Structure 1
Amino acid sequence: MKFLSQLTQSSPIKYRNQAIAVGIVLVVGVILAIAILFTNKSGTKAEEHDEAGHANEHAEHAKERSEEPATDQKGPHGGRLLKQGTYALEVAIFEVDSAPVFRLYPYQNGKALPPKSSEVTVLVQRLGQEVQTYLLKAEQDYLTSTKELEEPHSFEVKIKAIFDQKTYDFQYEQIEGRVQMSEQQRKHNGIETQVAGPMLLQSTMSLLGEIRLNADNTVHVVPRLTGLVERVLVNAGDKVKQGQVLAIISSQLLADQRGEVLAAQKRFVLAKKSFEREKKLWEEKISAEQDYLAAQNALQEAEITRQSAEQKLAALGANSPLSATGGSLTRLEIRSPINGTITEKNIAMGQVLKEDATIFTVTNLDTVWVEAVIPAKELGQIKVGQKATISATAFEASTTGKVSYVGSVVGDQTLSAMARLVVSNAKGMWYPGLPVNLVVQSAAVNTPVVVASEAIQSVNEVSSVFIKVGDQFEVRPVELGRTNGKFTEVIKGLLAGETYVSKNSFLMKAELGKSSVGHDD
C-alpha cells in the first residue's frame, strides 16, 4: 500500500489507473479463494453422505442374503445344507438297503438339534404332476419321511419348518434325467407323442419252447423176458401198424413157460375125463360119493393150474404153444402195441436182451406236445385253455394250439414252471426236439394305463418312458404288466392323461446319455 501511495504521489494520473487494476485483481482473488474453500467443504459433506448411504445399502443386502436359504453347501451327512439365519436343515435322500426316503437333520448355530424340536413338512413338485406332501417323523438323530420317495428323484422341493415358534421356508431344485427339445427339433427327428390312457388289451406273452413226443401216445416196447435176438424187422422212422411183428427173439424161459402150459392143459384134459367117469359111476351108484368128490376137486385144481399157466404166457406177450412160430417153443414175436412210428430202436441181431430193456419206442405222431418254461413271476398270466401261436425257428411254419397243462410246482433252481400245449401234426412237419417260439394270448381285459410298446426304453437297466411337459422331457421309470406286442400295460409310474414319447424314444435316450445323470442327494 505504501508502494501504491508512492506511485500515486509521484505520478497521479499514470499510476492511479494501475493501482485500481491491481486492487480489483486482489479482490477477485480473495473472492475466488473463499468460494473454492466453501465448495470443498460442501463436496466433502456430500461424499461422506454418499459413502454412508452405500454402506447402509450393502448392510441391508448382506442382511437379506443371510435370510435366504443357501443351497450350495453340504452337511456333515453328505446332504444338501439349507440355512436361514441361525437355523439350518440338512436334506438327504436315504436308500441304502431300503426304499428311498427323505432324511432331514436340523441345526442351530451349527450344532445339531434333537429331531423332535422341529416340525417339518416337505412338498415335492414333479414335472407335470400334482404336488406331493411328505410328513416327517423323528428317528434317532434325524427326521424321516413316512412314505417312500418314488423315482424319478427329479423335482422342486419346498420345505416348511417350525422351530422355537418361528417358521422357516426353504426351497431347491433337483433335476435329473431331463431333456429339452423344441417342436422343430422333434419334427426333424420324427419324434411323436401320445397320451397314456385305458385300452381293452388282449395281452400276449412270448416264450421259447420245444416240440416233444406226446407221452400219452408213446409206448416203450420191452421183451419181458431174457432172450437172444434172432431177427429185427423194422428200423427207426418206420411206420408200423398195431400187432405188426417188430422182432423175433429166442428164449429158453419162454420154452419152459410154454411147456408148463402144455402140461397143465393135458392134466386138465385127464382130470376132466376122470371126473366125468366118476360122476357117471356115482350116478349109477356103482362108486362111492367120496370118489366122485375127489375127482371133482382134482378137475378144479387142474383148471386153475391151466389158467394160471396160460395167463403167465399171455403176460409175456407170447401166443399159444400150439401156434408157436415154426413150431418152436423158444421163439417169441415182439409186436407193435399201437399204430405209430418207431421213434427209438435199441436192438440188434445176436444181442442178448434183459427182460426190462427198452428195445423200441413207438409213438403216434398225429399229435405232439409243445413244452415251454414259464418264469414264476409270469405264471399268473398263463391259464389252461389259452390260445397260442407256435412258430418254427428253423423254417417257415406256424400253427395254433391251446394250453392243456400248467405245472403246479416251481423249480428250486430255475424258479420256473412248465406249460404244455397239444398240437396237431397230421402233416408230420413238427419234429420232436425242434425249438419253437410261442405267443400266448390271454382274454381281453380293460386296462387303465397303456403305452405303445416301442415307447419303452431301458434306462439304467430299468424299463422307462419319456414324459412330455411343454418342451421338456423327463425319463420316468415304470412297472410293466401285460402286453400284446404293440401296446403294453403300465402298472406303476405313469398316470392316465400324461403325454409320453411314443415313437423314436431311443433318440431321447441318446440325448439323455450325452449328459451325466445322477441323484443330487
Structure 2
Amino acid sequence: MMKKSNTPTEATNPSPAARPKKQALAVAMVLALGLAGGWAILRGGPAVAGADAHAHGEGEAPHEEAPSVAAPPVVAASAPAVAASSADGGEEFVELSDEQLQRQAIRLEAAGPAKLARSLELLGEVKLNQDRSVLVTPRLAGQVEAVRVSAGDRVQAGQVLAVISSQALADQRSELLAAQKRLALARGVYEREKKLWEEKISAEQDYLQARQAFQEAEITAENARQKLQALGAGAAASGTAGLTRYEVRAPMAGVVVEKKISVGEVLKDDAPIFQLADLGTLWVELSLPVQALGQLQIGARGRIQGAPASEPALTLSHIGSTVAEQSRSAMARLLLPNPRGQWRPGQPVTVALQTGQTGASAEVTVPVAVRNEALQSREGRDEVYVREGQRMVARAVRLGRSDDRHTEVLQGLSAGERYASANSFVVKADLGKSAAAHAH
C-alpha cells in the first residue's frame, strides 16, 4: 500500500522554523513606520494630520500650525457713498459731504417758529375749467359712419373724432361745384369779349354784359364756399361718396370727457356729441359766507387739505357779485393747477383759503415749521431730510397748518434741527437710487 504525499499541507502551513523569521520582519516594518512618523512630527509635515485628528477626537485643544502655503490678502470693502438704511434697519439716509451739498445747491436751514397767514376753511367741489372746455356739435344732420375716439382719450387739435354721412352736406357741395363750373364758363366768355372789344371787333355792350356775368358767378361761388366753411366742411373729395362725407374734428387739444355718439345713430344738427377739456387746470367752486366777503380778495392763495405741501397753491380768481337768498353766501371760484392729473371734476375738497386781513390778527405763530419746498411725499408719507453728521436722514413728519411759504410740523422734527430747505428733491432721488441698488 502506497503512502500519500504531505507536500501541499506543508506549503499551506509553514513549518515552525519559518515563523520566527516572519515575525521579525513584521516588527522591523512597525519600527520603520514609527521612526518615519516621529520624524514627520518633528518636521511639522503632513503626517501630523493624523495625530491632530486623533487628539481632537479625545477633546484636546488643537495646536495651530503655520500654513505651508500663504493665504491671499483680505481687502476690506470700502463704505458705500449712499446707504439705504442705518445699521439697525431704522432710518433711511444718504451720505453727502458739505462739498456735495454745495455742488448740488442743497440749502440747509434750521427748523423753528414761523408766522403763518390765517386761513378760512371752506368746502368746495372740483369742476371743469369752462374757459378750457368745449362742446363739439356736428352742425349737420346725418348718420354716423365711424367713431374714432372714446371717453378718456387725449386728442390733438384738428384730429378726426367721427365721420358722418350727411345729405345736406352733399347738397351744399353740389351747389359749390355748379357755381365753380359757371364761374369758369363766365370767366372764359368775359376774357373773350374783352379781347374782341379791345380789338374793336365787338360792341362795348357785349363786353360789359360778359363782365357782369363773370362777377355774379364769382359772388355765387364764393357764397357757396362760405357756407361750407361755416359748416366746418371743405370741398368734396374725389368720387360721389365724398359729397356726403363729413369729418367732425377736434377744435382744441384736450381729453374727451364725454361722448354721446355711436355708429349708425342718426344725429340732429344741434346735438352735442363730444365734450373736450384741458384738464391741466381746473376750477374749485365753493360757497363763500357773507361774513367772510370782507376778508378775501382776488388773488388770495389757498391749499387743499390732505394734498402734499409740494403741490402748487390755488388762486382765488372770481367772487360772485350776488348773494344767494337762502344760503346767504356768494359763489367763489379758485384756479386749481392740475399738472399730474390727480384731481378730477366732481371731487369734493376742503380748501384752506388765506384771508386778506392786515395786522397781527392775520397771522398765527407756530413753534416748529419748515419751508414748503422742503417737503417731499414718498411711499404715502410726508418727509423732510435732516442733517446728521455727514448724512441726510429721511424723517417722516406729521403736518399741520400751512400757507404759501411755510408748513407747521406737529411731529417728527424738533426746533433747531437743520433740514434741506431747497432742492430736497435731489436727496429724494438719491434715496430712490439707493433703494433700487439694494433691491438688486
What residue number does 1:288 align with?
Answer: 203
The 3-state SS of whatever aligns with 1:247 is: strand
Q: Are residues 1:441 and 2:339 paired?
A: no
Aligned partner of 2:334 among 421, 429, 432: 421
Aligned partner of 1:310 among 225, 249, 260: 225
- Give the conservation status (yes or no) of the 8 Å contact 1:391–1:436: yes
Cα distance change, pair 451–262 in 1 and its aligned pair in 2 (3 A): closer
Q: 1:379 offset after TM fit, Å?
A: 1.4
1:158-197 to structure 2, matched below 5 A, reads none
What residue number does 2:247 align with?
Answer: 333
The 3-state SS of whatever aligns with 1:206 is: strand
1:481-496 to structure 2, matched below 5 A, reads none
What residue number does 2:418 align with?
Answer: none
Q: Are residues 1:381 and 2:288 paired?
A: no
Q: Are residues 1:272 and 2:199 paired?
A: no
Q: 2:302 & 2:219 partners in 1: Cα distance?
A: 56
Q: 1:297 offset after TM fit, Å?
A: 1.0
Q: Are residues 1:237 and 2:237 paired?
A: no
The 3-state SS of whatever aligns with 1:309 is: helix
TM-score, reference length from structure 1: 0.46
What residue number does 2:78 align with?
Answer: none
What residue number does 1:363 align with?
Answer: 277
Aligned partner of 2:261 among 344, 347, 351: 347
1:200-239 to structure 2, matched below 5 A, reads 202-239=117-154
Q: 1:319 offset after TM fit, Å?
A: 1.7
Q: 1:386 offset after TM fit, Å?
A: 0.5
Cα distance change, pair 448–429 in 1 and its aligned pair in 2 (3 A): closer
Residue deviations 1:210-262 (CA, integer Å, cap 9, x gap)? 11111111110001010001111111000111111111111100000000010
Question: Aligned residues, how many?
Answer: 256
The 3-state SS of whatever aligns with 1:378 is: helix
- Give the conservation status (yes or no) of the 8 Å contact 2:145–2:163: yes
Q: 2:131 & 2:364 partners in 1: Cα distance?
A: 43
- Give the conservation status (yes or no) of the 8 Å contact 1:222–1:360: yes
Q: 1:426 offset after TM fit, Å?
A: 1.4
Paired amino acid for 1:417: A
Q: Give unpaired runs (5+ residues) of structure 1.
A: 1-199, 454-483, 487-521
Q: 2:329 & 2:168 partners in 1: Cα distance?
A: 48
Residue deviations 1:130-169 (CA, integer Å, cap 9, x gap)? xxxxxxxxxxxxxxxxxxxxxxxxxxxxxxxxxxxxxxxx
Cα distance change, pair 405–312 in 1 and its aligned pair in 2 (3 A): same
TM-score, reference length from structure 2: 0.54
Q: 1:444 & 1:412 partners in 2: Cα distance?
A: 26
Q: 1:230 & 1:410 partners in 2: Cα distance?
A: 49
Q: 1:237 & 1:340 partners in 2: Cα distance?
A: 10
Q: 1:247 & 1:325 partners in 2: Cα distance?
A: 20
- Give the conservation status (yes or no) of the 8 Å contact 2:193–2:202: yes
Q: 1:399 offset after TM fit, Å?
A: 4.1
Cα distance change, pair 392–340 in 1 and its aligned pair in 2 (3 A): farther
Q: 1:446 offset after TM fit, Å?
A: 1.6
Cα distance change, pair 325–399 in 1 and its aligned pair in 2 (3 A): farther
The range that moved more, 298-307 or 373-382, is 373-382
Paired amino acid for 2:354: Q
Cα distance change, pair 391–266 in 1 and its aligned pair in 2 (3 A): farther
Residue deviations 1:283-306 (CA, integer Å, cap 9, x gap)? 111111111111111111111111
Q: 1:413 offset after TM fit, Å?
A: 2.7
Aligned partner of 1:402 among 315, 324, 348: 315
What residue number does 1:44 align with?
Answer: none
- Give the conservation status (yes or no) of the 8 Å contact 1:324–1:331: no
What residue number does 2:286 align with?
Answer: 372
- Structure 1 ranges of 4+ moved more than 6 A: 448-453
Cα distance change, pair 392–451 in 1 and its aligned pair in 2 (3 A): closer
1:240-255 to structure 2, matched below 5 A, reads 240-255=155-170
- Give the conservation status (yes or no) of the 8 Å contact 1:391–1:397: no
- Give the conservation status (yes or no) of the 8 Å contact 1:390–1:399: no
Q: 1:432 offset after TM fit, Å?
A: 0.8
Relative to total residues, which structure has the larger strand share, 1 or 2? 1
Residue deviations 1:151-191 (CA, integer Å, cap 9, x gap)? xxxxxxxxxxxxxxxxxxxxxxxxxxxxxxxxxxxxxxxxx
The 3-state SS of whatever aligns with 1:328 is: helix
Structural RMSD (CA): 2.8
Q: 2:240 & 2:350 partners in 1: Cα distance?
A: 53
Q: 1:391 offset after TM fit, Å?
A: 3.2
- Give the conservation status (yes or no) of the 8 Å contact 1:201–1:445: no
Residue deviations 1:398-453 (CA, integer Å, cap 9, x gap)? 54111111111112232211111112211111111111111111346225799999
Q: 1:324 & 1:364 partners in 2: Cα distance?
A: 36
Paired amino acid for 2:279: L
Q: 1:259 & 1:329 partners in 2: Cα distance?
A: 7
Cα distance change, pair 324–386 in 1 and its aligned pair in 2 (3 A): farther
